Amino acid sequence: MERLGCDASPAADFTVRHPSGRGRLGVAWALRRAVAAAQPAIVHLHSPWAGFIGRLLLPRSGPPIAYTPHCFAFERDPATAPPGLVHVTRRAEQIVADRTGLAVCVSPREADLAAAMGLPAVHVPNTTRVRAPRMRTSEATPTVVTVGRIGAQKDPHFLLRAKTFVNIDAEWTWIGGGDPALESELRAAGVTVTGWLPPEQVAEHLAAADVYLHTAAWESCPLALLEAVAAGLPIVARSIPALDSLGLDPDLHTPEQVAVELELVLHTGQPSRPRLQEAFAAQHTPQAQAAALTQAYEWLIGSSIRHTSRTQVPV
């Protein structure tokens, strides 16, 4: 939960709170108590679970709610999901949609999905302040690195298929952990799995790598991708709707296409479309986020005060 000051600059006064309680229900009720005590101008909820519980339990008469999904769970392919999960997660979003003051989305794709459910939505770029200057030496074996939870969303099987088409000797590293069976598959195929690391060690791995590979099956705008760009790494990202909407290469749909792009980067140090990555980096700065988030908060506060329809959202 974030508290927003009511001065002329809405982004000037934040308090970040982490309500604690026993289990998820305990945390949910702690959130309600914290909001009642703090009396914030806006409550900003992050992630589908926090977004659902917060919008369900916080009173309609309370402060307006900003909600950032950071990837809708219903985007998962039903064929790979537990039975009914996609329907349930979509229905959960629909149930609390009318309690949303503004969906603050980190990709145009995410904003489109929110708008399709009737939520007023705006795109505010994600960003990172992590900076890890590259330290790699040309004599070292090239390294392909990826970051994230090892599970269906990040799709390690796609990475393994792409790896079979790469004909360059390279070290492959997955920073993170997750499903033990998938971890074993990665290790058996020659991918180093580091397990979860503190942020400074993640930054060190990125700084020493040659290329960042992102193979997620569905996404929003992941911090790991932004941290790789901030480290000066060329990125090879599987083409999916969210990343396409952010302006990354839209022609890397298959493991074979990704492998060709990886080989090019490992040979030359540059992606085939460097200007796309340059534009992506320029659009996701702390300054760009602050400007867009301030505009979104100003609109949400003004809309709440006026008690008018929230169909017009900031551009």
What are the angstrom distances between the C-alpha of 122 and each of 26, 81, 103, 279, 303?
Answer: 31, 28, 6, 20, 14
Q: Are 1 and 43 in contact (CB under 8 A)?
A: yes
Residue 183: how many CB atoms within 10 A of its CB? 18
Considering the chain, what percentage of its residues have pLDDT values greater than 90? 73
Q: Tell me the C-alpha distance between 118 and 115, whole Å.
A: 5
Report the CATH fold assignment for 143-283: Rossmann fold (3.40.50)
Q: What is the pLDDT of residue 18?
A: 65
Q: Are 20 and 30 in contact (CB under 8 A)?
A: yes
* pLDDT tens-place string over residues 6-61: 233 344 456 666 666 667 778 888 888 889 888 999 999 999 999 999 999 999 98
The edge-to-edge listing of strands for the beta sheet with 43-46 is 43-46, 65-68, 102-105, 121-123
The domain segmentation of the chain, as residue ranges, is 2-127+285-306, 143-283
* pLDDT tens-place string over residues 100-110: 999 999 999 99
What value does the mean pLDDT of the chain take? Answer: 88
Q: Which two tokens stand for residue 98?
A: 């009318």
Q: Tell me the C-alpha distance between 200 and 109, whole Å.
A: 31
Average of per-residue pLDDT across 279-305:
91
Q: Are 97 and 121 in contact (CB under 8 A)?
A: no
End-to-end C-alpha distance for the chain, whole angstroms: 24
Instruction: With cut-offs at 50, 70 and 90, classify the pLDDT of residue 2.
Output: very low
Q: What is the pLDDT of residue 309?
A: 46
Closest CA to 98 of 56, 69, 131: 56
Question: Given this chain, do its domains 2-127+285-306 and 143-283 carry the same CATH topology?
Answer: yes
230/150: higher pLDDT? 150
Q: Tell me the C-alpha distance between 150 and 48, whole Å.
A: 19
What is the dotted CATH code of the domain comprising 2-127+285-306?
3.40.50.2000
> Helical H runs in the chain?
23-38, 48-57, 85-95, 108-116, 156-164, 180-188, 199-208, 223-230, 241-245, 255-268, 274-283, 286-306
- Residue that is written with structure tokens 């100003």 in the block: 298
Q: What is the pLDDT of residue 77?
A: 87
Q: What is the pLDDT of residue 4?
A: 28
* pLDDT tens-place string over residues 236-261: 999 999 999 999 999 999 999 999 99
Residue 50: how many CB atoms within 10 A of its CB? 21
* pLDDT tens-place string over residues 125-178: 999 876 655 655 566 799 999 999 999 999 999 999 999 999 999 999 999 999
Q: Are 166 and 211 in contact (CB under 8 A)?
A: no
Q: Tell me the C-alpha distance between 49 and 24, whole Å.
A: 10
Q: What is the pLDDT of residue 26?
A: 81
Q: What is the pLDDT of residue 136?
A: 58
Closest CA to 208 of 192, 223, 220, 190: 192
SS3 39: coil
